[in-house]
Amino acid sequence: MRVTLNRHEDTLRIALTEYEDADIARQYMLVEHDVRGDFTFLLNKKGVLLGIEVKFASSALPEEFLNEAELA
């Protein structure tokens, strides 16, 4: 698992396995939830979860978690 943070875009990406953007076949956004931020689940064409992208990460996730992420 690899966690990267782009502070400029305020986006955190959790990669559950190594993949390229071209491997992403489907994306599902969590639209109804009680937390801030946009959570998008990234799947390949077989439906396997490759990773999770969190936009507006600074308002959705604890600062301690963000500080431990690798900067992108």
Distances in whole angstroms, Cα of residue 7 to Cα of each of 19, 50, 63, 68: 21, 22, 12, 13
Distance CA 36, CA 33 (A): 8
Q: Which residue has the tokens 């782009």?
A: 6
Distance CA 63, CA 26 (A): 29
CA neighbor of 1 nearest in space, from 64, 62, 60, 70: 70
Residue pLDDT tens, the chain, 72 long: 999 999 999 999 999 999 999 999 999 998 777 778 899 999 999 999 999 999 999 999 999 999 999 999
pTM (whole model) above 0.85 = yes
Q: How much is the pLDDT for 30?
A: 87
Q: How much is the pLDDT for 36?
A: 82
